[in-house]
Structure 1
Amino acid sequence: MSNITKIEGSSCQRYSNALHVGFHQHILVIFETLLSDVLAKLHISEDLLNSYKKSIDQESELNRKSLASTLTITMDEEEAERDRLLSMLFFLVANALASSKAATKAAAQRLDVVLRPYKGIQNQADDAETALIRGLLGDLRKEENTEAVTALNLEPTLASLETTNNAFDQAKNKRAEENSTGETETTVEVRKKTDSMYQDICTLVYASALMATGDEDREFCVSIINEMNRVIANYKTSYKQSLAQKEARKKKEEGDTTGESDQNPEGGEGGDLEFVPVDYPPNR
């Protein structure tokens, strides 16, 4: 029994959120493909496997929702841009009012009347500004104003304003959708829960290999351990490559071409989730 292959330490506690979810998803696939009677040989209950899957899915959902911060940045950028375009539009029309060309001045006078109700809309609440911009665009694009808009060459500005306004509205709606479902657990808490169930699975698989009464069952358990170790090795490699890339970028930014990273991708002090084998099946 001492020759039973051990499950390698995963280092998964050190992984980024995306890498952490990916690792556990690949481990889960190993067991989801097994029939219930085969899982019984590993002493893994369907309840444990379902709970493991649920925790992984919850992690994945939390990671997806973290994109809300990116959407907020997009909203801020689009908000600033649409305010800039509005200011430009008002300026172009106001500037044309002082034109020495009669046709230009006449076009500006016509459009100034259209724009007056919309002045100051940059200070309105988000949804109100979005609606008012759509109203402004609709009024300026009415047939009776087409000639004046063309005379002042405003259509490129109107097109940019429409695109930016729509982008802002889409980002705002997307963020609202992402935040519509509240979460009671943080990513850190869910990660710990996922890791804990993974540790239970490791214990059960190794214990099953140790206590297998026949060569066939023992070989099956070892094949599962080998498959888990393959996934673990692949993700350790990805993690080390990620660390190396970050270190290279850091050195490039600092202009430092000497020295070695103090981080140990194999684990070491804190953070490494290592499987400690047992010599007997746990009481369940």
Structure 2
Amino acid sequence: MSNIAKIESSSCQRYSNALHVGFHQHILNILDSLLTDIRAKLHISEEMLSIYKGLIDREVELNRKSYASTYTLTMDEEEAERDRLLSMLFFMVSNAMGSTKGNTKSAAQKIDIVLRPYKGIQNQADDAETSLIKGLLVDLRKEENSEAVAALNLEPILTNLETANNAFDLAKNERTSENSLSQNGTTVEVRKKTDAIYQDICTLVYASALMATGEEDREFCISIIDEMNRVIANFKTSYKQSQAQKEARKQQAEEGTAEEENKNPDGTDDGNLEFVPVD
């Protein structure tokens, strides 16, 4: 019995929805591929396996609905639009700072000071970007900035930016509401149920190995434990890689924001955009 390895902790509670359902599908494949009489040696009933499979299928369905939702499509469109408008706003102000007209250049310099804390917000998480855009609009529409905004003709962009931002926020709230009102429960609730029955399965598999009276049955149970542990190890690696990629993207975004803040006032270091001074 001392040679019987325990089933490793999966840490699947931390996984993204896609990775979570993928993990459980792999565990299910191990068990579902066994003949009924062979699987009985693990003391896993057909009813338990059926419930486990049903929960996994429900997760797949919820994930598919989330990705296919019309609200998700709207969010993607409005996200792209508000990022485009933000880039245009920063471009126009930077371009105007090279104007030969004193009042235009002065207005641009004043607005640039207001915009500095917001540069790079396109790289922020959805909710953070939504909030920052609202703050940016409030700051630019303050009375002390009205003349400068008018001089640069920025109000049309601000109006469109506000519309796109509100549309994105509304679509995200609607999608959240749609998911929470799902008849068969939210993804969070289903995930908890899937994880719970998975833990029961792990307990039964390990207990079956401990209680096996014959060497052949014990070796079979151990082989299942080994296979489950291989799946667990593979998905832990995938999770760590995804986290490392997220961290790398975050660091790249932060570096991009710092680079944006350190650009020359004439905009000569502003990516591939060609700045043409305003007459």
Distance 1:49 1:184 in 2: 19
- Structure 1 residues 207, 186: closer, same or farther in 2, change over 3 A? same
Would you say how many aligned residue pairs link Structure 1 and Structure 2? 159
Would you say 1:223 and 2:214 are equivalent positions? no
Distance 2:202 2:183 in 1: 28
Distance 1:216 1:245 in 2: 44
Structure 2, unaligned runs of 5 or more? 80-174, 257-279
Distance 1:202 1:43 in 2: 11
Which residue identity is paired with 1:54? G
| 1:22-73 CA distance string (max 9 Å, x none) | 0000000000011111111000000000000000000110011112132233
Shift of 1:184: 3.2
Would you say 1:70 and 2:69 are equivalent positions? no
Aligned to 2:49: 49
Distance 1:223 1:11 in 2: 21
Would you say 1:29 and 2:29 are equivalent positions? yes
Which residue identity is paired with 2:244? A
| 1:63-93 CA distance string (max 9 Å, x none) | 111121322336769xxxxxxxxxxxxxxxx
- Structure 1 residues 74, 7: closer, same or farther in 2, change over 3 A? closer
Aligned to 1:205: 205
Which residue identity is paired with 1:70? T
Aligned to 2:267: none
After TM superposition, the runs of 4+ consecutive aligned structure 1 residues lying more than 2 A away are 69-77, 181-184
Aligned to 1:18: 18
Alignment of 1:74-85 (within 5 A): none
Superposition RMSD in Å: 2.7
Which residue identity is paired with 2:44? I
Distance 1:48 1:209 in 2: 19
Distance 1:188 1:182 in 2: 12
Distance 1:200 1:76 in 2: 44
Aligned to 1:58: 58
Shift of 1:247: 0.6
Query: TM-score if structure 1 supplies the norm length?
Result: 0.52
| 1:142-182 CA distance string (max 9 Å, x none) | xxxxxxxxxxxxxxxxxxxxxxxxxxxxxxxxx9xx99x95
Alignment of 1:1-284 (within 5 A): 1-67=1-67, 68=69, 69-73=71-75, 182-255=182-255
Which residue identity is paired with 1:12? C
Structure 1, unaligned runs of 5 or more? 78-174, 257-284
Q: Which structure is higher in helix share? A: 2
Aligned to 1:273: none
Distance 1:4 1:239 in 2: 27
Structure number with bigger Rg:
1
